[in-house]
Amino acid sequence: MPLTLVSGRPADCTGRLPKEIRCYDLLDSLGVRYQRVDHEAVMTMEACREIDLALDATICKNLLLCNRQRTAFYLLMLPGGKSFHAGVLSKHIGSSRLSFAPAEDMEALLDITPGSVSVLGLMNDKENRVQLLIDEDVLKGEYLGCHPCINTSSLRLPTRDLVERILPAMGHTPKILPADQD
């Protein structure tokens, strides 16, 4: 069965997790127009191919990274097909020995679990412990795709609204990374 793109939040939120509903509440409170597709749980970018077609947006690979001491955390947004190079990124941001943050840090900082990492999780980072890093190629598309903090739905958001409305409302200023980081 093909995936269906619908406007806004589900008409009935019964059975939806509070963190997902908080995403819809945030977007609605800001007047952001978004579309949603519900689907089976997806854990990898490869599993998102059909979702990508339904959203027709820049699909983001979202990685929660940390330094060796787990004292600095970074949410990296890359276009879905782009490779992540820890060494190059480490040099660019001045933080050595970057690695993937453990699941317990994802939960504690952003109220998300592996496979559900999303820029919208920053609404749960009230202490601004996570620095948002956005590859400039993400910002080139009119729309971007992300999860509402759960990997059984995907959203299509206007890229401009993310930068101009959503991130300021969450109190996060992104660091924009050059597309060619080599």
Q: Using alpha carbons, select from 155, 124, 152, 150 the residue that is nearest to residue 60.
A: 155
- 180 CB-contact burial (10 Å; exposed 0-12 / middle 13-18 / buried 19+): exposed
Cβ–Cβ < 8 Å for 51, 3: yes
Domain boundaries, the chain: 6-175
d(CA 89, CA 27): 30
| 38 contacts: CB under 8 Å, gap ≥ 6 | 3, 10, 152, 153
What pTM does this model have?
0.92
d(CA 78, CA 63): 8
Does the pLDDT of residue 44 top 80, yes or no?
no
Average pLDDT, stretch 105-120? 94
At 140-161, the pLDDT tens digits run 999 999 999 999 999 999 999 9
Homologous superfamily assigned to 6-175: YbaK/aminoacyl-tRNA synthetase-associated domain (3.90.960.10)
